[in-house]
Amino acid sequence: MIDVRKMPLPVKRVVHLGSRSYGRLTSPARMKPSFLICGGQRCGTTSLYRALAAHPAILKAVLHKGVHYFDTSYRRGMSWYRAHFPLQRTADKIQQRYGVPAQTFESSPYYMYHPQAVARIAQDLPDTKLIVLVRDPVERAYSQHHHEVARGFERERDFGNALALEPARLHRQEERLAQDPGYYSFAHQHHAYRGRGEYARYLGVMAQHVGRERIHVVESERFFSHPEEVYDEVLTYLGLPTHLDRPEFERHNARPRQSDMDPGIRAELTSHYSSHDEALAMWLDRLPVWRSR
């Protein structure tokens, strides 16, 4: 099989365009995702995505792990979205082999934060389950800033300055996104460092739209320290067997604890997230693991 990731960029674009065109023509015969990894950003979503994609009864999206339909591409329509997923006949072959219905999914961490994404998911995929990863919000914010700088999406290289700029950058952006289906905010997607770690706030909104029973929360610290245990919990939530081939667990797109963070900034962020972590405890039935260190 040819690895599309290793192709030159112009060739890759042609392949993707052709695949999506074919996908749209065959969209009625394609699967709909039965679950989505919706966030959070810089919380280990890539690692969980790759582990789940290795399960024999799970089929990943055809071209990209993140389709970003319900946040930034909703105008393209459901046939465009369905084009990203495997054909139903592929799922039928898996069911014949393993005796369980195959599932497909994608991972778009911005779904958790975009003001309209979860309402769209509730409307278009009324039975789809949502998986959310959470991580020490202080480390998450710092990791996101490093990530955005590395990708060229953030020109302010000083984390403290980026935090100071955040309120002005995000002024009324969430309101505009909620009111205008066609509006896009680069700052909201890439520069919300502090706000992204207020997990319980976003989880509460998600529950209002899809119901709490359709949301499964995973602490990334537990996933990385006890991957087999957490992996089996996710499979059980999805109604999939845990006895089939187990993947090799690795850590992807993750940075080690940033000991070079300014102690004052760390202390201020830790204090800021205290009440949010306590609210998250209602979802976990205990304080999050980073609070018990």
At residue 250, the pLDDT reads 66
3-state secondary structure 19-87: HHHHHHHCHHHECCCCEEEEECCCCCHHHHHHHHHCCCCEEECCCCCCCCHHHHCHHHCHHHHHCCCCE
Q: What is the pLDDT of residues 142-166, one digit of tens each?
A: 999 999 999 999 999 999 999 999 9
Cβ atoms of 118 and 36 closer than 8 Å: no
Residue 1 has pLDDT above 90, yes or no: no
Mean predicted confidence (pLDDT) in 6-32? 61
Statement: residue 11 has pLDDT above 50? no
Please state the domain extents for the chain: 36-58+107-291
Q: Which pTM does this prediction carry?
A: 0.88
Among the listed residues 86, 87, 69, the one whose alpha carbon sits nearest the alpha carbon of residue 77: 69
Place of tokens 């789809």: 128
Q: What pLDDT, in 10s, does the model give residues 56-111? A: 999 998 877 889 999 999 999 999 999 999 999 999 999 999 899 999 999 999 99
**Partners of 37 in the β-ladder:** 107, 131
Nearest to 133 by CA among 66, 223, 212, 33: 223
- What average pLDDT does this structure show over 20-44? 84
- If you average pLDDT over every residue of the chain, what do you get? 89
pLDDT for the residue 251: 58
Q: What is the CATH number of domain 36-58+107-291?
A: 3.40.50.300
At residue 243, the pLDDT reads: 84
